[in-house]
Chains A and B, each alone.
Chain A
Amino acid sequence: MMGTGKFWVVSFLVAVGALVLTRGFIANDYFFFAAYVVLQYIVLSTAWNILGGYTGYTNFGVAAFFAVGAYSSVVLHKLTSLPVPVMILVGGIMSGILGFGMGYLTLRLKGVFFAIATLALAIVAQTLIVNWDYVGGSRGIYIIRPQQSPLYGSYIQYLYSLMLILAWISLAIARTIERSRLGLGFAAIRDDELAAEAGGVPTLRLKLIATTLSGALMGMSGAPLPYYVTYLDPASSFNLSYAVNSVAMPLIGGMTSWVGPMIGAILLGTIQQLATVTISSALNLLIVGLLLIAFVIIAPNGIVGLVQARRRARARW
């Protein structure tokens, strides 16, 4: 197994390598347009998995955190001329606070009750935004992109680069958690909360860390959205498909490891992008549904689970 320090270095080099290669060799802007979405889903599903996969609390309110990040950028865009990375940071903080609040209010609920509460949170947040005129209300708002990218290349390439870095950071955070004392505490909570508490695990504190971190990463992935779409409205930014995808991707990839959400996001995200271009974007949810059914039957522990099972079987041979 790779040490944590080594992983950070190697994965950073991979991320930079991907950045340089794609930007050096691909001239078509559409590639970056599509890749941005896939990368955004790597961040979202990794963030979802920190709470859902590691700690065992299902969050259906992904859209709330995502949109709070996006709308905090809208406010900043109107008030200031801050660079996008700073907006990402602010969006992360806002959604992190929301995550902490949600955790504090709902973590006494378990299982399906918690899931419903998170779904309600998304609806409440959407209602607030719809009625907030300053950020466009229900008619939405146009965001004029700066004319030039702060770095070389087009603006979409710039956003793509930011999202790539964000994906790298989320994956590195997830992997670090997985191998730490914190990750073991999360696993204990997922397996049995009473036993975890009896084993000295401060369950409430750990769950708050999970909701805050998970929410913050979701908000960060939403913060560049206004610049990506240039027209933001509540119906699309609070779209249920964000939640469905963020849950489906870890399920398909595998929830026990940081690799799972990444594989799921790349696989499902790419298929959806291809389907959007070749057939219709209306097909996306159908694809998710069919894949979910297939995986629940064939590989309930996701792709990572399949590989692990095969490895274990071989070791026993």
Chain B
Amino acid sequence: MKQPLLEVSGLGKRFGGFVALESIDLSVRTGERLGLIGPNGSGKSTLVNCLCGTLRHDSGSVVFDGRPIDGLPAYRRTRLGLARSFQLPKPFRTLNLVDNLRIPLLYTVNARPGARLSNGAIDERCRALLADVGLADKALRQPRDLTQVEMRKLELARAVASAPRLLFADEAMAGLSPSEIEEILVVLVRLNEQGITIVLIEHIMRAVMSFSTRLVVLVAGQKIADGAPQEAIRNPEVERAYLGE
């Protein structure tokens, strides 16, 4: 069997006396569309933060593409091909949209060994990425001119600009209308078809169910289900967590 793209074993994280994550095992295969769900406070975002290097985990190990990445700072992980979008969009607010995407291109794509993109090529790539998410006509605007859904798209475009192999989309659809959710889903599926493995962290069940090929459920810092989406949500423990006894 091919080795997984991301292999997490026994990962734990505490905040003082509070156990946020307890011995999480998770493996993500190349090309997969993985849904990660769980009630509020179940540790989804903490898990993403630990995997992307924003937080340091206390125990366990994370192997990305055959290489242990425990303790690597976040920017090194991004350079290895592990990108994320933030739950609350964090655009570079004083920079226009093109420059927002220029940063990951300059600092990630051009920092990797191999061919360096010229300034012209970077400009072109920024515009192409913006066009991909339907923001081409706002290329020189500032983030404050964007709507909520456009902000989410910029957030995704910026994560994709680093040419990742694995993308964590952290609640990319929270607060959006059904048609807007559809728009984001289309973007995500297309990215996946282009070869990016995607982990979708989401509350909106309809979106997760239609997107994911596999579902992982976290409850109170523990993984309680992992498998085909339809089976995972019928798991009695999951039902209990979501619907109560």
The answer to whether B107 and A185 have CB atoms under 8 Å apart is yes
**Which one, A187, A194, A200, A203, contacts B95 given CB within 8 A?**
A187
Is B38 interfacial (CB 8 A cutoff)? no
**Which one, B86, B92, B99, B162, contacts A200 given CB within 8 A?**
B162
The answer to whether A188 and B92 have CB atoms under 8 Å apart is yes
Q: Which residue of A lies closest to B53 (CB)?
A: A197
Is B12 interfacial (CB 8 A cutoff)? no
Is B198 interfacial (CB 8 A cutoff)? no
The answer to whether A198 and B83 have CB atoms under 8 Å apart is yes
Contact with B along A108-151 (1 / 0, CB 8 A): 00000000000000000000000000000000000000000000
Is A181 interfacial (CB 8 A cutoff)? yes
The answer to whether B75 and A190 have CB atoms under 8 Å apart is no
The answer to whether A200 and B108 have CB atoms under 8 Å apart is yes
Question: What bracket does the count of chain B residues touching chain A fall in?
Answer: 20 to 34
Interface centre among B53, B90, B103, B106 (most CB of A within 10 A): B103
Interface centre among A185, A201, A203, A256 (most CB of B within 10 A): A201
Docked pose: A204 CA to B79 CA in angstroms:
16
Docked pose: A200 CA to B73 CA in angstroms:
10
Shortest C-beta distance, A26 to chain B (Å), equals 41
The answer to whether B108 and A197 have CB atoms under 8 Å apart is no
The answer to whether B102 and A198 have CB atoms under 8 Å apart is no
Take A184-B106, A188-B103 as given contacts and tell me if A197 and B94 are in contact as well, using a CB distance cutoff of 8 Å: no
The answer to whether B106 and A181 have CB atoms under 8 Å apart is yes
Docked pose: A191 CA to B158 CA in angstroms:
14
Q: Which residue of A lies closest to B79 (CB)?
A: A200
The answer to whether A195 and B91 have CB atoms under 8 Å apart is yes
Which of chain B's residues have a CB closer than 8 A to the CB of A197?
Answer: 53-54, 73-75, 78
Is B111 interfacial (CB 8 A cutoff)? yes
The answer to whether A195 and B86 have CB atoms under 8 Å apart is yes
Docked pose: A199 CA to B104 CA in angstroms:
5
Shortest C-beta distance, A59 to chain B (Å), equals 19
Shortest C-beta distance, B222 to chain A (Å), equals 26
Docked pose: A196 CA to B111 CA in angstroms:
14
Take A184-B99, A185-B103 as given contacts and tell me if A198 and B93 are in contact as well, using a CB distance cutoff of 8 Å: no
The answer to whether A199 and B94 have CB atoms under 8 Å apart is no
The answer to whether B158 and A199 have CB atoms under 8 Å apart is yes
**Which one, A187, A202, A204, A256, contacts B92 given CB within 8 A?**
A187
Docked pose: A162 CA to B83 CA in angstroms:
49
Take A188-B103, A194-B54, A195-B86 as given contacts and tell me if A201 and B94 are in contact as well, using a CB distance cutoff of 8 Å: no
The answer to whether B92 and A192 have CB atoms under 8 Å apart is yes
What are 24 pairs between A and B in contact, CB < 8 Å? Answer: A184-B102, A184-B103, A185-B103, A187-B99, A191-B93, A192-B90, A194-B54, A195-B90, A196-B92, A197-B73, A197-B74, A197-B75, A198-B52, A198-B75, A198-B83, A199-B107, A199-B108, A199-B158, A199-B161, A200-B107, A201-B75, A202-B107, A203-B75, A204-B73
Question: Which of B's residues lie within 8 Å of A, judged by CB?
Answer: 52-54, 73-75, 78-79, 83-84, 86, 90-95, 99, 102-104, 106-108, 111, 158-159, 161-162
**What are the 4 closest A-B residue pairs judged by CB atoms, nearest first?**
A200-B108, A200-B107, A195-B90, A191-B92
